[in-house]
């Protein structure tokens, strides 16, 4: 992981805390090593290396002039860390919420592990699927780094062998920067009735389509909502369309074999007669379980004849991430990846503020940012930098990502050969 190099030693912490107290008009209690508020008061501060077992590579400027930040530690709460996966910061939520607000985007830095930008939220369902966030619940002793549908500690590599305390810091990146997502999420609904979507074809209603991005073979890779799960009332359409397309190999990201077989109508489906790998993954893109499942699914594609179809339940989150990785590997542009990702949202969501209508351009632009953010976060955790998503060499970066999560060069070559063949 990238080295933090931005955490203060004890002396620096106390000195800066004293400076903040002297400059602030608000009265504050005497800071402790784990509860220090920093105000740069017109100056940049250079971090000293900490006493943590994780040694920063270098000292760096911690905050821009005028930036609000806090220095703290990762609390040694083994039950939360290793049983539930949240990373507790030794900073009381009520105190934290006097410095930051719900909807702020902050930069979290954990010494020796990683740095990432996360929203501050009051609820677990306030964020997109697979996203990191800071959970601040009033009255609790700790602000928590959490991962939607996953385990933040495991994703960061904080294991039972970690030496505590681990220094950490939080700095404001964008005031109220997440509020736009919350506003756009209001008045959004979906339906299982095709007549609610008069502008969609039956293929679009089933979220069924060929992947046509740059480098992908014609008629080789498809994606859809579940062809077997009846929960969304789209399965029979997706199954019939798969048969018409001649899909020979399915990658089921959502179900176990037993779970899929239990769905009504499974035994009679086209799906049940074809090659299927059942992965039963949660949409925790940064966790080991998802990465291992991704590798298993890609190996299955490389070892079986196409055409191929990747699906989860909606064909949105797990499928969206998986297809984006394959598109990037084959040479798709950032624009192509985002456009394909957002098509699923157009196929499912209706805007219901004034009657029922398709999503607005503003909605779609917001959803396009989600796939870029998810890829950036997952790649970054294995030291693959695509922070400049629009201009990054996504194909080369994706090869590095796949190598980092366990694939061999020969397997990647075989996968690319399968996907490029007409």
Domain of 192, CATH number, reads 3.90.190.10
Same domain, 246 and 133: no
Lowest mean pLDDT among 24-33, 100-109, 279-288: 24-33
Give the domain-ending residue among 127, 160, 183.
183
The domain that holds 56 is classified in CATH as 2.40.30.90
The answer to the question of residue 132 being in a domain is: yes
Average pLDDT, stretch 327-355? 91
Distances (CA, A) of 57 to 70, 362, 365, 381, 401: 21, 41, 38, 18, 23
- Whether 120 and 232 share a structural domain: no
- Lowest mean pLDDT, pick from 108-117, 289-298, 336-345: 108-117
Residue 167, strand partner residues: 73
Phi, psi angles (nearest 5°) of residue 96? -60, -40
The secondary structure of 384-401 as a DSSP string is: ---SSTTTS-HHHHHHHH
5 in a domain, yes or no? Answer: no
Same domain membership, residue 261 and residue 155: no
Q: Is the pLDDT of residue 50 over 90?
A: no
| One domain for residues 106 and 25 | yes
- What is the distance between the alpha carbons of residues 47 and 59, in angstroms, rounded to a whole number? 5
Q: Is the pTM of this model over 0.75?
A: yes
CA atoms within 13 A on the CB side of 86: 19
Residues 152 and 205 in one domain: no
Tell me if 4 is assigned to some domain: no
Establish if 3 belongs to a structural domain: no
> Final residue of a domain: which of 147, 166, 183?
183
Q: Are 13 and 48 in contact (CB under 8 A)?
A: no
Which two structure tokens, joined as six digits, stand for 183?
């506003």
22 pLDDT higher than 50: no
CA distance 53 to 75: 15
Where does a domain end: 122, 153, 183? 183
Same domain, 281 and 414: yes
Give the chain's domain count: 2
Regarding whether 367 and 248 lie in a shared domain, the answer is yes
250 and 346 housed in the same domain: yes
Considering the domain architecture, whether residues 178 and 233 belong to the same structural domain is answered as no
In a domain, 125, yes or no: yes
Of the candidates 363, 357, 335, 371, the one whose C-alpha atom is nearest the C-alpha of residue 200 is 357
**Most confident among 163-167, 357-361, 409-413 (mean pLDDT):** 409-413
Joined together, the tokens standing for residue 164 give: 């505590």
Residue 280 lies in a domain: yes
pLDDT at 305: 97
Same domain assignment for residues 355 and 333: yes
pLDDT of residue 3: 36
Mean pLDDT in residue range 9-19: 34
Residue 248 lies in a domain: yes
Q: Is the predicted pLDDT of residue 258 greater than 90, yes or no?
A: yes
Query: Is 330 in contact with 215 (CB distance < 8 Å)?
Result: yes
pLDDT of residue 353: 65
Taking CA atoms, 8 is separated from 111, 167, 241, in Å, by 10, 8, 59
Asked if residue 420 lies in contact with residue 217, where contact means CB atoms within 8 angstroms, the answer is yes
Residues 296 and 192 in one domain: yes
Range of the domain at 370: 187-420
> How far is 300 from 279, CA to CA, in rounded Å?
11
| Separation between Cα atoms, residue 400 and residue 416, nearest integer Å | 14
Q: Is position 353 within any domain?
A: yes
Residues 212 and 168 in one domain: no
**Ranges assigned E (strand) in 42-174:** 68-74, 87-89, 105-110, 114-121, 132-135, 143-147, 166-174
Provide the pLDDT confidence category of residue 127 given band limits of 50, 70 and 90.
confident
Instruction: Provide the pLDDT confidence category of residue 67 given band limits of 50, 70 and 90.
Output: low
């Amino acid at each position: 992981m990238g080295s933090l190099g931005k955490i203060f030693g004890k002396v620096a912490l106390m000195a800066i805390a004293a400076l903040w107290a002297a400059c602030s008009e608000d009265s504050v209690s005497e800071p402790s090593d784990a509860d220090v508020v920093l105000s740069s008061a017109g100056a940049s501060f250079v971090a000293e290396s900490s006493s943590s077992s994780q040694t920063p590579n270098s000292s760096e400027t911690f905050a821009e002039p005028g930036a609000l930040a806090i220095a703290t530690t990762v609390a040694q709460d083994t039950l939360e860390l290793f049983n539930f996966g949240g990373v507790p910061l030794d900073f009381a939520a009520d105190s934290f919420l006097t410095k930051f607000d719900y909807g702020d985007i902050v930069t979290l830095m954990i010494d020796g592990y990683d740095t990432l930008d996360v929203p501050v939220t009051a609820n677990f369902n306030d964020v997109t699927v697979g996203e990191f966030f800071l959970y601040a619940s009033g009255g609790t002793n700790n602000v928590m780094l959490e991962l939607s549908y996953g385990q933040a500690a495991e994703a960061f590599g904080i294991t039972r062998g970690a030496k505590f305390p681990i220094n950490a810091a939080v700095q404001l990146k964008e005031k109220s920067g997440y509020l736009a997502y919350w506003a756009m999420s209001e008045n959004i609904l979906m339906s299982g009735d095709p007549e609610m979507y008069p502008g969609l074809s039956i293929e679009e209603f089933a979220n069924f389509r060929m992947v046509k991005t740059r480098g992908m073979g014609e008629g080789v890779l498809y994606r859809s909502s579940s062809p077997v799960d009846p929960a969304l009332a789209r399965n029979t359409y997706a199954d019939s369309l798969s048969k018409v397309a001649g899909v020979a190999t399915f990658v089921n990201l959502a179900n176990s074999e037993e779970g899929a077989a239990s769905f009504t109508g499974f035994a009679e489906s086209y799906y049940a007669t074809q090659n299927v790998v059942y992965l039963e993954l949660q949409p925790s893109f940064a966790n080991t379980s998802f990465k291992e499942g991704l590798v298993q699914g890609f190996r299955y594609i490389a070892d079986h004849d196409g055409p191929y179809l990747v699906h989860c339940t909606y064909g949105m989150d797990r499928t969206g991430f998986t297809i984006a990785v394959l598109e990037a590997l084959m040479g798709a542009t950032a624009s192509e990846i985002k456009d394909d990702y957002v098509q699923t949202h157009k196929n499912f969501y209706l805007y219901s503020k004034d009657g029922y209508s398709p999503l607005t351009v503003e909605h779609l632009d917001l959803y396009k940012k989600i796939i870029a953010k998810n890829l950036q976060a997952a790649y970054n955790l294995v030291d693959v930098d695509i922070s400049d998503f629009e201009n990054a060499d996504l194909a080369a970066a994706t090869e590095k990502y796949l190598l980092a999560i366990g694939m061999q060069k020969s397997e990647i070559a075989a996968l690319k050969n399968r996907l490029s063949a007409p």
